[in-house]
């Protein structure tokens, strides 16, 4: 994802505030995220 895509997602979420959205990390990043938390 880049900044333009993030802005587009934000605009869309503000257009439809009644809908739920979630950004899920890619499976291959789980180990990296775990290390960053530790």
pLDDT tens sequence for the chain (38 residues): 799 999 998 999 999 999 987 778 888 888 888 888 87
Alpha carbon distance 6, 3 (integer Å): 5
How many Cα atoms are found within 13 Å in the side-chain-facing hemisphere of 7? 3
Three-class SS of residue 13? helix
Q: How far is CA 29 from CA 3, 5, 10, in A?
A: 19, 20, 23
Instruction: Report the pLDDT value the prediction gives residue 4, as an integer from 0 to 100.
Output: 95
For the question of whether the overall pTM of this predicted structure is more than 0.75, the answer is: no
The token pair that represents 6 in the structure block: 């993030």
Whether the CB-CB separation of 10 and 23 falls below 8 Å is answered with no
Instruction: Report the pLDDT value the prediction gives residue 7, as an integer from 0 to 100.
Output: 94
């Amino acid at each position: 994802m880049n900044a333009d895509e993030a802005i587009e997602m934000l605009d869309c979420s503000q257009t439809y505030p009644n809908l739920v959205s979630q950004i899920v990390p890619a499976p291959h990043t789980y180990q990296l995220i775990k290390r960053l938390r530790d």
